Structure 1
Amino acid sequence: MKKASVKTPRIDGKETQERIKQAAQRLFALRGVDGVTVQEIVSAAGQRNNAALHYHFGSKRDLLKELVLDGAKLIDARRQAMLDEMEQSGAISVRALIEALAYPLLELGKQTGEYTYIRMIASLQLTDRELLREAVGDKWNLGYRRCLNQLASLLSHLPDPVLQQRLSLLGIYGSAIWAAWETAADAKTTNRFWEPAHSLSNVIDTLQAVVEVGPSSTTLELLTSTSHTERKKNRAAAASQ
């Protein structure tokens, strides 16, 4: 009697796309965007050749843009909802705004089942910020910009050059610390730093301190000196015209 052949379940185009995206994002998170080839992505996704990636996404860069956008949409929706709630309740504070910057990132892993997005973005911030701007545009970082605008308003007593640097530092520090948090979450093992109940709140305390702490007398003196020098240069340039 002839045995019935067992057919391998057919994988449709949508499932292939998702496998490629999941494999690529994990590789980008673990090894950095520039450390991963198209061949490595398709192999990790269980595909036979590079044509699968090119067929579904066009190029590695196009795939990256789609991955960035997938996460950015979810993060922005959550962040804007938090901001709307703050504004409606009148409970806007520096602490609440930093939480609105942080929590949507930290919640993304639970939404998607993958703890890889933050590290992929951190890699792009170091190597290809232009790709981030192209992918997100003005539409999908609206919540981020709303947070920064609100922070700037609450911290308007700080000298503007200091304030602008502080907001940049908030992003730089946040990117590094949340990438470390994601690494621990992805490992799914006990982590002595993140396991204590107070850890996440304590980290947010430190980020709050970054923007709120008053500038030192040294910083203010250097700022005044720089401003005075720039004014002299401007007057000299105007006089020579």
Structure 2
Amino acid sequence: MTSPDARELILLAGERLIADSGCAVSLRDIAVAANQRNNSAVHYHFGSRDGLIAAIVERRQQALDADRMALLSEHDDATTPDTPAPLLAILVRPMFDTPYAEGSTHYARFLEQVRTHPVISAIDLHGERWPATKMTVQRLHRSLTDFPAALRAQRLRAMSTVMFALLADYERRRFSGASHGLPDVEDDILAMLTGLLTAPDPAAARTH
């Protein structure tokens, strides 16, 4: 088996250190954690801190999008209605397994740290490069038929914020062993996120 190359080692170290210490972690510390003698190794391979963050996201997103596409195909083949719960499951369920099957231990915590970073908006996670993610989010938006467009967008933003926090906590428990004995954690997270998305519109309730 060949050992990981310098770029791969930096990606893994960057994911872990940013997850633990935030986006401002020293690039030198990342190079050291990746066993690179050159303190400028991150700049050499990724150009900048932003380039490293974008590369970490893109590296994981490809496999996540492939798994979402498979789940979307199953959903459509079964002619399951486009309601929030199954669409949310398509979006979130790969996050419980796919990064860890690739050897990650910190990806959800990394996402929690970088989700508001300007480079994430520039990447456009729902763009043409990852069609399953884009389609799932669009269909999830359309499935919120009881709400006006502005409230749909607000609910999806809030759901994303809570989703990142819950996934990071799930990951923290998973790798500390604290998740043992907690039944149906994944289903419970999906139930909470579905409840957040579909809770009644308070403005509509006030008019009755």
The TM tier, using the shorter chain, reads 0.7 to 0.9
Q: 1:221 to 1:198 in 2, by over 3 A?
A: closer
| Paired residues of 1:114 and 1:186 also in contact (CA < 8 A) | no
Counterpart CA distance in 2 for 1:165 and 1:78 is 26
Q: 1:59 to 1:161 in 2, by over 3 A?
A: closer
- The match for 2:102 is 112
- Structure with greater proportional helix content: 1
- The match for 1:98 is 88
| Paired residues of 2:128 and 2:134 also in contact (CA < 8 A) | no
SS of the equivalent of 1:33 reads: coil
| Paired residues of 1:65 and 1:132 also in contact (CA < 8 A) | yes
- The match for 2:21 is 31
Structure 1 counterpart of 2:123, one-letter code: A
Identity of aligned residues (%): 23
Shift of 1:141: 4.0
Counterpart CA distance in 2 for 1:76 and 1:131 is 19
Alignment partner of 1:89 is 2:78: yes
2:112 to 111, 122, 125: 122
2:172 to 179, 183, 208: 183
Count of aligned residue pairs for this structure pair: 204
Shift of 1:145: 2.6
Q: 1:149 to 1:44 in 2, by over 3 A?
A: same
Structure 2 residue ranges without an equivalent (≥5): none
2:136 to 141, 147, 151: 147
Counterpart CA distance in 2 for 1:177 and 1:31 is 18
Please list the CA deviations of residues 126-158 of structure 1 after superposition, one character each: whole Å capped at 9, or x if unmatched.
3x1x31133346123432332222223322122
Counterpart CA distance in 1 for 2:129 and 2:53 is 15
> Could you tell me the TM-score, scaled by structure 1's length?
0.76
Please list the CA deviations of residues 65-116 of structure 1 after superposition, one character each: whole Å capped at 9, or x if unmatched.
1111001111111112211221122113321111111111111233212121
Q: 1:26 to 1:142 in 2, by over 3 A?
A: same
Counterpart CA distance in 1 for 2:196 and 2:100 is 28
Structure 1 residue ranges without an equivalent (≥5): 1-10, 225-241
Structure 2 counterpart of 1:120, one-letter code: F
Counterpart CA distance in 1 for 2:131 and 2:144 is 20
Query: Which structure 1 residue ranges, 4+ long, deviate > 3 Å from structure 2?
Result: none
| Paired residues of 2:170 and 2:179 also in contact (CA < 8 A) | no
Q: 1:63 to 1:200 in 2, by over 3 A?
A: same
Structure 1 counterpart of 2:95, one-letter code: L
Structure 2 counterpart of 1:206, one-letter code: M
Q: CA RMSD in A?
A: 2.3
